[in-house]
Chains A and B, each alone.
Chain A
């Protein structure tokens, strides 16, 4: 299976993501520059973290107008798994592929720390290897990570099981402590924390298994035996 890693000007977790996909999970991965298109034979698309366009105007909003987003939208409509991490999540909400918006953290600080997430939806292509309500340690690194939706949208998210991850405690002021959501079909997932930074025990002081399960879920979804 082939995974596309989309690169925008200012992406800076693209190589970490590529490294994890290729060196750790032995997948065929390729970078795709945001001005170009995605080929038809891609099996999954990942929008990595970083600071596309230097977060100018609002994190993710300028990249959301990049030509490649039309292809990401087409892939999403076809049911292909799409994951946005951190700035990738911000780009997915700004492009309308996911509901909500990511505001500056309540503290106004850039937050770089370990958090605990609760898995609220284990049916997505990136969470199918978790137990429901499993608590997982995972690092965050963002300045605009406070997820916000209005009350009506929140009701819809709950009704349609679109809340994928919640922080176990208040971290940044996110509505309902949300850390990650999916689209109605569940194939497009966005999350603020960085699983690609935590799958290797050498750089993970706590537990690298939970972050690995995000990628193993994708392998399972695609029927790849590790």
Chain B
């Protein structure tokens, strides 16, 4: 099943690229992502009733547990909604003859992201990581403006730096444990007396992998490529890049740390110090990302810096190093994916309709585009962490995991960060609904709302924000089972 998803997306990518006709390419994109979403849900049902699926292809093991299914569903369903929304938006950003290339790159990106998550063998993971960074840089550059070329170059070079570090870490782990699969590494690391003799290898390897993943997933000091890449890319690309691409690398990191080393050894070895560093850097990212977001005047750059802050939350959850911390981080992956993809698509709609990216000139927008701004409000409130929206559940999970692990001081940055989120999302909403009308966008007056059929995927994402905010029980149970399954690898 896992192989079927990867192969389907890659074949779809080639088909969309080759067809040369933008209408056919759109149809292929929509159809393939729809089938991918169905396959991901079917795979989740299969794994839920039949247990882990382990297969192998070209000598590389693929292990599908609950967490992999969870990520496959996020990639499938949110990828489908973004591609659906891009049907009506993409021609605003991308030239007509580049549209087949865009859909080809999007499908290739989704396929390689699934592969990053599915592969248990590190060689397969490494190749997929590299392929996905090419495709991700591609969907930034496809807009073909100079600032996109600059952003793409920056993204590409820092991605390569990140994957070099990850590769080095993988080899040190291989030298120490004699295995290139997460299961084998776990078996070796958890064997008696291993950490006593070879803990230095494991620490160095994980220090390098952490550094590499920090570049790939934009942890604060290594985030410098993110605002350029996400801010200048076409809006559907920004939505994919921030809600899906960053998450694949983080899940790989979670699998390496909690599957490959395991909770017991983390608690009793030098890995604890490494994760403490990850936790503190995550806290700094939460605060600094929000402060930088407040300073922005461009709507897409503001949302991009908000992603930096949200990555900080996820890394803080990983750094707590307990099962509840990992659960909070995984749930935040879902919360951020649903909310941020909606926000980027809303920002894209606003830019498309008013030709204005400047936040200070959005007064009165609520009267011109009431549905769009209502969707922005839902996204913003979820990011701040207001109850009834998914962001609140996520922050609640972080708070319980902090209290559980007795790192009480973390509650202070958590609440400060929520306030900072409010400081940059609420002014936009207030200005749009109650502020003085800006001449730049209200002239000529009249509704600038996009037709509801084009807004439907955005509305579905907002419905998702509310549904997971009110009724998150099944997902939480599923993730708890998934964490138990992950920590059982290698036993």
A and B are partners in one complex rather than unrelated chains: no
